[in-house]
Amino acid sequence: MPASKRDMKFIVVTGGVMSGLGKGITAASTGRILKNRGFNVTAIKIDPYINIDAGTMSPYQHGEVFVLKDGGEVDLDLGNYERFLDIELTSDHNITTGKVYQSVIEKERRGDYLGKTVQIIPHITNEIKERIRKVAKNSGADICIIEVGGTVGDIESMPFLEAVRQMHREEKEEDIAFLHVTLVPTDTQDEQKTKPTQHSVKELRSLGLQPDVIVARCKKPLLSDTKSKIALFCDVPTSAVISAHDANDIYYVPTLMEKEGLSEYLTEKLRLSPGEKSAEWDELMDKMAAIDREIRIGVVGKYAHLGDSYISINEALKHAGIECGCRVRVDWVDAEEFEKNPDLIDTLKKYNGILVPGGFGVRGTEGKIMAIKYARENNVPYLGLCLGMQLAVIEFARNVVGLKDANSSELVRTEHPVIDLLPEQENVTEMGGTMRLGNYDAELTLGSLASKLYNGSHVIIERHRHRYEVNPDYIRQIEAEGMKFTGRNDHRMEIAEIPGHRFFFSSQFHPEFKSRPGKPSPPFLAFVKAALE
């Protein structure tokens, strides 16, 4: 049986050698294989940066900002946790240096420390441990996976590594395990080199932490001799050296790690009694492997060369593709290229569908509007997300309604601000204060495409991240010409669609954030089906 709620188990995931090895996928995959064995799993991501959250970070530096149900703006790894584990997390599941220090300073100012000198040890480390334990307890889970961001040796990570070292001392031996992700590169002679892993583990041990499991990222499966060498020099059993070689898709990683014996090793180390293994994930992988069709989708955005900026969109398209039995080939199209050379718009004819994602700022917006016009006039399936809906409304207002100057007041001064701040937002000056973040309801028009996509539901809940809205002053004029607003939250427009078009659907919310493998987002599923046709 799974562990009792009073006997929380912790698995701490650290990384060495270099960043970008895949700690997040490793943590998510570890959680998935334990979930497959009947355990209730939750996850925490520790980010050592001083920002309070990821909300103000540029996609160029940090990739996508993932939005949680409570409006938390967090690192994209939490998106992987939600998708792999099929759970919903809150902002408390993302611990940053900024949050920790802000809380400690506020307590010091209130006098909570009774005049003591406030120091990293014990005050900062106690705050970190308190947050971890509180989140784990409130989740009601059996196992809490904690990913410590950054690389062992980074000065920013030191307080967090010290905190989990103290946790190891405070928890029962069977209640906490440490999993260290390292790199095993291959030299020009095709020999697997263990020295980077040895040095990484040595650095970890110098901080008082001994890994229980070593997950070795490598191009090809670890040889038995390589595993034995790592086990000998890093003082772990050979069965605790896990080969995390390159996979065709991230969703194959849990199966790979299961075959390596990771769940058996961890359940034994944590003294857990697993249930019968669920076949759900393996069946999903079989479905992926059987795909023999392909469609091409053009995602027209301004971060075209940074796939991580749109990772949830990419995954949502993949989930829909699996359900439809097709591979979705995504091309990232730079909207600014259309602005430089309008003739390039004809290159969109090679796509089965066109998607315009969310974003902020004026750059690339005219190119996106050109792509939307192409999709509307050529009956190409179109899916617009957040800004992609706003620009669809602008394009329709300009080219169908006849409001040539139509635009968003976020972007330019215009005579016809069909996208605008609503009156209750105008006087809020704090960064993020005017943003609608997280879960909001949308009431759907019965009989509409929106209602059909959501199986006849009258009310749906989706996640938001935007500031400007469709201007209510123009709704009647726009609807009179054929675009219909079929999802509403009071006076806010949530969905715009064009009846009679092959598929023209856009949402003010971000449906990609709730898409899961085996449970694709309804708008994405309908979009991929339309593209297949």
- What residues are labeled active site? 386, 510, 512
Domain end residue (candidates: 267, 285, 303): 285
The neighbour count for residue 436, using CB atoms within 10 Å, is 18
Read off the DSSP letter of residue 196: H
Look at strands 73-74 and 66-67 and give their pairing: antiparallel
- For residues 390 and 252, membership in a common domain is answered with no
Domain end residue (candidates: 285, 300, 334): 285
- For residues 352 and 461, membership in a common domain is answered with yes
Judge whether 41 lies within some domain.
Answer: yes
- For residues 268 and 333, membership in a common domain is answered with no
Report how far residue 420's alpha carbon sits from residue 407's, in angstroms, rounded to the nearest whole number.
9
- For residues 228 and 307, membership in a common domain is answered with no
Count of the separate structural domains present in the chain: 2
- For residues 428 and 464, membership in a common domain is answered with yes
The neighbour count for residue 232, using CB atoms within 10 Å, is 12
What pLDDT was estimated at residue 450? 97
- For residues 273 and 335, membership in a common domain is answered with no
- For residues 427 and 357, membership in a common domain is answered with yes
76: three-class secondary structure by DSSP: coil
What pLDDT was estimated at residue 4? 43
- Average pLDDT by stretches of 10, the chain with 533 residues: 65 93 96 97 96 82 88 94 97 97 96 94 97 96 97 94 97 97 94 96 96 97 97 97 96 97 96 92 95 96 73 97 96 93 96 94 93 98 98 98 95 94 64 78 97 96 96 97 97 97 98 97 98 93
What pLDDT was estimated at residue 427? 54
- For residues 215 and 98, membership in a common domain is answered with yes
- For residues 246 and 325, membership in a common domain is answered with no
Judge whether 218 lies within some domain.
Answer: yes
Question: Which pair of structure tokens corresponds to residue 375?
Answer: 């999709």
Report how far residue 11's alpha carbon sits from residue 29's, in angstroms, rounded to the nearest whole number.
12
Judge whether 1 lies within some domain.
Answer: no
Structural domain boundaries, residue 370: 291-532
What pLDDT was estimated at residue 425? 63
Compute CA 337 distance to the chain's CA centroid, rounded to the nearest angstrom.
Answer: 28
Report how far residue 16's alpha carbon sits from residue 462's, in angstroms, rounded to the nearest whole number.
37
Domain end residue (candidates: 264, 285, 306): 285
Question: Which pair of structure tokens corresponds to residue 482?
Answer: 């054929």
Question: In CATH, what number is assigned to the domain containing residue 246?
Answer: 3.40.50.300
- φ, ψ of residue 73 in degrees (nearest 5): -100, 115
Whether 527 contacts 381, CB under 8 Å: yes
- For residues 326 and 368, membership in a common domain is answered with yes
What pLDDT was estimated at residue 266? 97
Give whole-number Cα distances, 180 to 11, 196, 522, in Å.
10, 13, 37
- For residues 280 and 298, membership in a common domain is answered with no
- For residues 40 and 135, membership in a common domain is answered with yes
Give whole-number Cα distances, 414 to 71, 361, 407, in Å.
31, 16, 6
The predicted model scores a pTM of: 0.93
